Amino acid sequence: EFKRDVQAVNPHLAATDDRFVAAEVYYLPEPSRVSPAYLWDRPLHDYSGSIYQAWLDLVQGKVPGLDYASFRTQLPAYNPSLADTGKLLATDNYLLPRTVESDRYYLATTSSGTGRFRFNDLRAGSYTLEVTAPQTVPFAATITLDETLSERELDVEVAMLPLLDVEPRQPVAQARGTGAGQFMGVIGREFVVNRRIVRFIGVNLRGLVYYGSGLTGMLQFTTEGHRHETVQQAHAMGAKVVRVFLPCINASAAQTIGLLRTTLDILGNHNLYLIPAFVDFYKSTDFRIPGDDHFYARLDPNFHHELLKGDFYRGGYRERYLPFVQTVVGAFKEDSRIFAWEIGNELKYEPAHEDPNRAAFLDFMLTMARTIKQIDRNHLVTTGMISTSHASLDVDNLWRKLYGGPEFDFLTVHCYNDEYEGKQDHAYAQALNKPFIIEEAGYGKARPGNRVEQVRRDMDRWFGLGASGYMQWGFMPTQWDIGDGDDDAGMDRAFHGQDFDGLFQLYRERAASLQAQADSLGEPEQPTDTGAATGSPTDHTGVLGTPMQPKLKAGETAYAQDWVNVRKSAGHVGKPGDDVVGLLGPGAMVTLTGEPIQKDGLRWWPINGTKADGETVIGWMA
């Protein structure tokens, strides 16, 4: 859109091959002025006064763009009782307006070598300042500028991400939660809460947060009552976990937070946990970050839907996705009804060959997981992926770069219609000593048959391979189609009424069996090692960057579990700054080129490794 508009108003760009030249003058497009939209859903209680007084007290200056004449005309339409009283009464309840879908834009600049930066000619208003730099904790602050302030200075301090070899870390198992309290935790390959093992049946209620909100046409036939009905039915079926897609293109972060809080209250009343996915890979739904539609494109000629493209993973996510995640996580970091945060639904880099070694995709996934855990130390984090194979991470041990460190607490698998080929994530989970769940499952037209028996066999297989949870896709227990099911592989009365009751009973029986199984195991023991595996399904590998290392040998391959300095020589005490020759990130693969030596309380190995940018680094690491 920008390219089209800027070429139209600057035809002389064609003479320079669409490159800007310093000596020329150019015109840049501005967003068109649009009238703001209003939503009459702000509740008012215990207020008495005239309509004009309500305007002065509650609306004027608080709803930009709305004048008194429009307010006075529209108020009775949303509050019919005013037709009789002519004024607001303390005994009645009313609805007031608020502005939605305000225009947003962003500016970017790069600091000087001394760290100074400047934004010129800003209009009065509220701004969010974000500062990012390699190997630092992201900084964010809200700044308000008024008409009387000609200039404002702000000091920004950014903290470096911790480096591993300063001192040994605590075991990773503790970092991802012990399950000693109400928050879901992980010990080894088990989910744990209140010191009890959790194995579960779950359901996908993709749009649950927005039922009855009027914010998406996909759910135009839903009501707020459907939230209660679907959750109650999930509970009656024995489900313990519900998964939703969290953003909506028509909802602000504040709206989403309010609706999520209401949803959690309903789930909490039935002792259910929630997994929110922070973005959908597919543009075919409305569960996308507002303003990010330019990051979707037709990428696969064999797939007619638009998908998230590479620009998103290569930094575009920082524009709106990252602030959305930070805001939501910060708002619910103390809410034990959250099972885990999920980076997104079925994300991958498409096409994979345009992302060598999946470097951009892995950097995005790991950066987001670390960001979430910097804000919220209570909750688990997972990927929401179909499989590592689907994301082209099943080559060169790339799966270990994603899941091998402390960023992700468990693995996810989406499996329909007995499509088992290439899905080896259960073996990876075993190698890494982490849980895995079947997060989406169902049977459709591609595998006709008795769906009750198909699901029974599928659960037997996955639980036999060590799965801790199994979640039905497209759970829509309402009498009619409310727009949140799946007419192919869903579980519903509208499209699959012939087997709904059979599946309901099957899941209820399996949920009871899983509960009895978990109860019989008693309280799990806290592991004495890092909780990360030293082995692999197919080779002999190890882990570096942990306080307790496996039995490694010269010539073997090992993987960094955190940010690790590579030094010129063994040891880190009293060394000059130039002793560090490189920095390896979590999951970085190295070859042990010789025997280790003990120095400064750590075991140091000579290594040959590769940094994320492809540069080779040779030195010593602990």
| CATH (domain of 392) | 3.20.20.80
Determine, yes or no, domain membership for 499: yes
The residue type of 429 is: A
For tokens 């209140």, what's the residue? 194
Helices 451-464 and 500-521 pack at an angle, to 10 degrees, of 20
Structure tokens given for 464? 């036999």
DSSP for residue 65: T
- Residue 119 phi, psi (nearest 5): -115, 125
Of 417, 322, 400, whose CA–CA distance to 358 is shortest? 400
pLDDT of residue 145: 73
Look-up of token digits 């005013």:
82
Whether 603 and 570 have beta carbons less than 8 Å apart is answered as no
Answer yes or no: do 125 and 41 share one domain: no
Per-residue DSSP letters for 366-391?
HHHHHHHHHH-SSSEEE---S-TTTT
pLDDT digits (tens, 9 = 90+) for 548-603: 344 577 877 776 655 678 899 998 887 876 788 887 765 567 788 888 998 887 88
Any domain includes 332: yes
CB 375, CB 333: distance < 8 Å: yes
Would you state the pLDDT for residue 209?
Answer: 98
Residue 531 lies in a domain: no
Ranges under pLDDT 70 in the chain:
1, 4-5, 8-9, 29-37, 61, 65, 100-108, 113, 123, 125-126, 132-140, 147-150, 158-180, 526-551, 559-563, 577, 585-588, 611-614
| Inside any domain, residue 219 | yes
Strands annotated E in 320-428:
340-342, 380-382, 411-416
**Residue 169: its pLDDT value, please?**
35
The dihedral built from the CA positions of residue 574, 576, 579 and 581, taken in this order, carries a sign that is positive
Are residues 95 and 42 both part of a single domain?
Answer: yes
Co-location of 228 and 301 in the same domain: yes
Same domain (yes/no): 283, 342: yes
Residue 586: the pLDDT is 53
Is 327 part of any domain?
A: yes
Q: What is the pLDDT of residue 120?
A: 75
- What CATH number corresponds to the domain at position 592? 2.30.30
Determine the pLDDT at residue 546: 38
Residue 532 belongs to a domain: no
Sign of the C-alpha dihedral, residues 350, 354, 357, 358?
A: negative
Of 78, 100, 122, the position where a domain reaches its end is: 100
Rounded to whole angstroms, the Cα distance separating 477 from 321 reads 32
Let me know how many helices (H) and strands (E) the chain has, helices first.
14, 27
Pair 443, 554 in one domain: no
Backbone angles phi, psi at 574, to 5 degrees: 70, 20
Position 147 scores a pLDDT of: 63
Tens of pLDDT along 6-18? 776 677 787 888 8
Q: Is the domain of 145 the same as that of 188?
A: no
Domain hosting 134: range is 105-160
* pLDDT per position as a tens digit, 237-246: 999 999 999 9
> What is the torsional sign of CA 362, 368, 372, 374?
positive
Both 266 and 151 in one domain: the answer is no
Residues 581 and 507 in one domain: no
> Torsions phi, psi of 541, nearest 5?
-130, 170
Same domain, 150 and 284: no
Q: Are residues 248 and 363 in the same domain?
A: yes
Q: What is the layout of strands, in order, in the sheet containing 241-245?
A: 380-382, 340-342, 273-277, 241-245, 200-204, 469-472, 436-442, 411-416
- pTM score, two decimals? 0.61
Indicate if 447 and 574 belong to the same structural domain: no
Cβ-count burial 264-278 (b if 16+ within 10 Å, e if not)? bebbeebebbbbbbb
Domain membership of residue 527 (yes or no) is no
How far is 259 from 74, CA to CA, in rounded Å? 25
Instruction: Please state, in angstroms and rounded to a whole number, the distance separating the CA atoms of residues 98 and 79.
Output: 15
Q: Are residues 512 and 545 in the same domain?
A: no
The DSSP secondary structure of 3-48, one letter per residue, reads HHHHHHH-GGGGGGTT---TTS------PPP-PPEEEEEEEE-S--
In a domain? residue 528: no
Q: Which of 491, 521, 551 is the last residue of a domain?
A: 521
- Say what the pLDDT of residue 104 is: 46
Count CB neighbours of 127 within 10 A.
Answer: 15
Using DSSP's 3-state secondary structure scheme, residue 144 falls into strand
Helix (H, G, I), strand (E, B) or coil at 440: strand
What gap in Å lies between CA 359 and CA 534, rounded to an integer?
23
Count of structural domains, the chain: 5
CA dist., res. 346 & res. 62, Å (int) = 40
